[in-house]
Structure 1
Amino acid sequence: MIAIFDYGMGNLHSVSKAVERLGYESAVTSDPEQILAADGAILPGVGAFGDAMQHLHESNLRDVVLRYATSGKPLLGICLGMQLLFSRSEEHGSHEGLNLLPGEVVRFQGDYKIPHMGWNRLEFLQPSPLLGGLDEGYVYFVHSYRVKPENQSDLLAVTDYYQPVTAVVGRDNVYGMQFHPEKSGELGMKLLGNFLGLCKAEIHK
């Protein structure tokens, strides 16, 4: 079973439906026992970084995310959920993140359209099980802030939006996608499928 963190912020229904379309059972849940027993877990997110961290604290799920990450089972952050994996964000002030991956979240700066919204091509930087068997292609982004990882080894794929922009990250069992794989057509679903394949969950196809 794949647990989808329900902390009051995120595209929970669409992520759950995408997981089920790929043949896996999912549960949108805030129950720590159910989450920690899951074969894999997804941390979605839509909205502001500080609000999301506050919701995680108030729902007592911050520590559950951290415990899950140390379990060795696969954890995936999507969009804002990926940003939350990092150390801090400057969105509407300074906010501490989950610090599972070192780095900071900063606002796009420049004379171009913000938010970054639309289809952009991924460039794969290094091998990863998340990217295995896939060709570079287009996925769908909507964000005004971007991640600057401290360790280049955590950076699996970038896109170009007036500068290289972090698109996919990963270290050990912790992964993140800045775009919405469930809204990113065939490539997005293949990327999500690769993550689910790491989870050793039972397929119900």
Structure 2
Amino acid sequence: MSSRVVVLDYGSGNLRSAQRAMERTGADVTVTSDPRVALEADGLVVPGVGAFSACMASLKAAGGDRVIGRRVAGGRPVLGICVGMQVLFDRGVEQADVHSEDRATEGCGEWPGTVERLRAPVVPHMGWNTVTPPEGTRLFADVDPEERFYFVHSYAVRHWEFVASSDRIPAPRVTWAEHGEPFVAAVENGPLSATQFHPEKSGDAGARVLANWVATL
């Protein structure tokens, strides 16, 4: 029986691209804004594009932050993509323009950390890049280390702050990439996973990451 996956429609993200990519894994995919359906699915995909503050406002308006929190608390898998990954952190700090002050927006708070502008000669980071997964990764199982993934972003988590672990709560597995400086490219943390890159736009390598995630449902 195929895993039931919901792509959360909260007014942000490449919904159809995510839907088609998930369908290619063999999952039974629904695009919906219905919180009940999102809660009951085997897996929930949270896409996102644009500004952190706008995505977070739309997510809250749709009740998506509560859906994510309830799923994670119940051990139900969630996959964030691009800004859908960023909103899982404590906060995002953005600059509207060069003449304005930075402004902070509260995120979902599932992980400690701040999403901030990349310090790189060229921003946005747009194009293909390699990543460095940790030992024991499930998302990147059977993915060639030389494979490249497609990124489009100006902001990222530059410092990983969650290091505590125990026998009962293993430390999250963090994948890194580099554009001017290291940044978090993916996280695997129990039921909660996320990628800064777009797996749905990353060819065979991205398809393998999505298939690996679906295999955990």
Matched, 1:157 2:160: no
Aligned to 2:153: 143
| Of 6, 12, 15, the match for 1:12 | 15
Does the 8 Å CA contact 1:149/1:155 hold for their aligned counterparts?
no
Q: What SS is found at the alignment partner of 1:186?
A: helix
* 1:190 corresponds to which of 193, 208, 211: 208
In the alignment, the residues of structure 2 paired with residue 65 and residue 142 of structure 1 have an alpha-carbon distance, to the nearest angstrom, of 24
2:46 corresponds to 1:43: yes
Q: How does 1:76-95 map to 2 (within 5 A)?
A: 76-92=79-95, 93-95=103-105
> Any conservation in 1 of the 2:119–2:181 contact (CA below 8 Å)?
no
Asked if the contact 1:155/1:166 (under 8 Å) is kept, the reply is: no
- After alignment, is 158-167 or 187-196 more displaced? 158-167
Aligned residues: 198
Give the structure 1 partner of residue 5 of structure 2.
2
Equivalent residue for 1:104? 114
Q: Which residue of the partner structure matches residue 140 of structure 2? A: 131
Q: Is the 8 A contact 1:86 1:101 kept in 2?
A: yes
Q: Which runs of 5+ in 2 are unaligned?
A: 96-102, 164-170
Structure 2 residue matching 1:94: 3-state secondary structure = strand
Give the secondary structure class of the aligned counterpart of 1:123: coil
Q: Partner residue of 1:203?
A: none
For 2:34 and 2:182, the matched residues in 1 are separated by 38
Shift of 1:128: 2.0
Amino acid at match of 2:111: L
Structure 1 residue 60 and structure 2 residue 69: aligned?
no
CA distance in 2: counterparts of 1:149 and 1:29, whole angstroms = 32
Cα shift at 1:194: 0.4
What is the CA deviation profile of residues 162-198 of structure 1, one whole-angstrom value per residue up to 9, with x for unaligned ones?
Answer: 2112111121110110000010011111001100111
Provide the C-alpha distance between the structure 2 equivalents of 1:113 and 1:180, rounded to a whole number of angstroms: 19
Report the Cα distance in structure 1 between the residues aligned to 2:71 and 2:134, rounded to whole angstroms: 27
Runs (5+) with no aligned partner, structure 1: 200-205
State the identity as a percent: 40
What is the CA distance between 1:4 and its match in structure 2?
0.8
TM-score by length of 2: 0.87
How much does 1:49 deviate?
0.6
1:118 aligns with 2:121: no
CA deviations 1:43-86 (Å, max 9, x no partner) are 00001111111111212222112111212121100000010111
* 1:65-76 aligned within 5 A: 65-76=68-79
DSSP-derived class of the 2:183 partner: strand
CA RMSD, aligned part only? 1.3
Measure how far apart 1:154 and its partner are. Answer: 3.0
Per-residue deviation, 1:155: 4.6
